[in-house]
Amino acid sequence: VRDRRLVGHEMLAGSQDHDDWREKSLPGISKKIQIDQLFQSSFYQNQHKSGISSAMAGVAGVGKTTMVQKIVYNWATGKIFQQFQFVFRFNFRDLNLINCSLSLTDMILHQYPYLSNILEKLWENPEWLLFIFDGLNSSK
């Protein structure tokens, strides 16, 4: 059994290495922000009609999935992102188990079958929908 303090220091060191790499490789492109700032317009001068996208990057074990869980929980409890009426979270590990091509509608119905009666209505206001894809590094 490893000392938990050593593991914690390794995670911090890995995160620091990633931060150093990001600054050298992507100067001025990426910014550190708070969770509630992810979809604020000040970070998106080139907003497209199709919506806004955001990406989180980091080394394994730094807390990306935990942050996704916190985003969903904070949305569900009314703390953040109240402009969204529905949040759909997809995990690439689960999506990898599907052996055929699916549309986004099919993916929603596969993971959230109880929405089949209202899904058509949801598409009328796509700006109210938040899609979160977690674990891109696990995608096939």
Sequential DSSP letters for 2-27 = --HHHHHHHHHHHHHHHHHHHHHHST
0.85 surpassed by pTM: no
Query: What is the DSSP code (8-state) at residue 115?
Result: G
Instruction: Tell me what the mean pLDDT of segment 4-33 comes to.
Output: 58
For residue range 96-129, list pLDDT tens digits in order.
888 888 899 999 998 999 999 999 999 999 989 9
